[in-house]
Amino acid sequence: MTTRAKLSGIQRQALALYRGFLRTARLKSPEERHRIESVVSAEFRENARNVDRRNFVYIEYLVRRGKRQLEQLKNPDITGLSTLEINKVLTI
């Protein structure tokens, strides 16, 4: 039997936020549900890869931003999520 490492408070918050998005996605239409799940999954995976685990200030900002987005998504009038991708181009 394997034992799992205990999660920190911020890790529990991020996991709860992820589960909240997935639960809320179930309340939307099947097409939007799939879109929401893919956007949320991609966003969480990208942040897990690219954000330094010791950058607590930025991680807390992402959690707060996610909570605001989740509350908006819970509104029955809101049908889905949209994403904005900004390509950073370095000019010299």
- The tokens for 18 are 């992820």
Collect all residues with Cβ–Cβ distance below 8 Å to 27 and sequence separation of at least 6.
74, 76
- Give CA–CA dist 81/42, Å, rounded: 13
Residue 88 pLDDT more than 70?
no
The DSSP annotation for 36-76 comes to: HHHHHHHHHHHHHHHS-TT-HHHHHHHHHHHHHHHHHHHST
Between 85 and 28, residue with greater pLDDT: 28
pLDDT tens-digit series, residues 35-71: 999 999 999 999 999 999 999 999 999 999 999 999 9
pLDDT tens-digit series, residues 3-45: 788 888 899 999 999 999 999 999 999 999 999 999 999 999 9
